Amino acid sequence: MAEEVLLFGVWASHFTVRVQIALKLKGVQYKYFEEDLDNKSVLLLQYNPINKKVPVLVHNGKPIVESQIILEYIDETWPGYPILPKDPHERAIARFWAMFIDDKCTPALRKACWGGENGRESWDGENGREKAVEEASELLKFMEEELKGKRFFGGKSIGLVDIIANIIGFWLGVFEEGSGVKLLTRDKFPKLCNWVDEYVSSSIMKESLPPRDKLVPFFQNFFRGAK
């Protein structure tokens, strides 16, 4: 049977792009469906009836949802490029950082740049923005430390944490440009800045990341237009 791989996503979503990066690293051919989140497709609601969110991967008719779960599925299903390490303890460390980025860093970065927990509200009280920038910086320090002695979070090559960290590797720069907030400075975060440079210039990211000149006005409109 010919294999069928479908991906339902949104071009500007770092969650969607994670899945595209993983599929490209594995060399898996797939058909992409762009979703309109204001008018979700019947297929998206059918494949993800509980969360109704992108990305959704559909492999031979079976849906898989939640980007971290999809990345694990891709790694377990297709041979070739290893996304997670083989060693159980190294796998646990990678999963920890993936969870740390999603649960802690992503909301903090949005709040620092755009305000509010989900980036669509104002900052809280006096100096709210400065406090949010400080909190996000504290989290980024842990990521800076984790890069010590390593080229990528995955070691010599891009792995699970690097894919999940596209919010830092690419979207943060877009958020900074769009919002005027500067978080990732070379004096405070030299390793993270070097990692970002290598990240965006790697061939896999060049063919996976959306055009920056379209993303900046998209997020300015998305976050600021909602206020």
Q: What residues line the site for a copy of itself (CB under 8 A)?
A: 50, 59, 62, 64-66, 69-70, 72-73, 76-77, 88-89, 91-92, 95-96, 99-100, 142
* Shortest Å distance, C-beta 75 to a copy of itself: 9
* Shortest Å distance, C-beta 65 to a copy of itself: 6
Taking the least distance from each CB to a copy of itself, the nearer of 56 and 132 is 56
Taking the least distance from each CB to a copy of itself, the nearer of 130 and 142 is 142
Taking the least distance from each CB to a copy of itself, the nearer of 94 and 183 is 94
State the sign of the Cα–Cα–Cα–Cα dihedral 77, 78, 81, 86: positive
* Shortest Å distance, C-beta 3 to a copy of itself: 13
Taking the least distance from each CB to a copy of itself, the nearer of 59 and 129 is 59
* Shortest Å distance, C-beta 79 to a copy of itself: 12
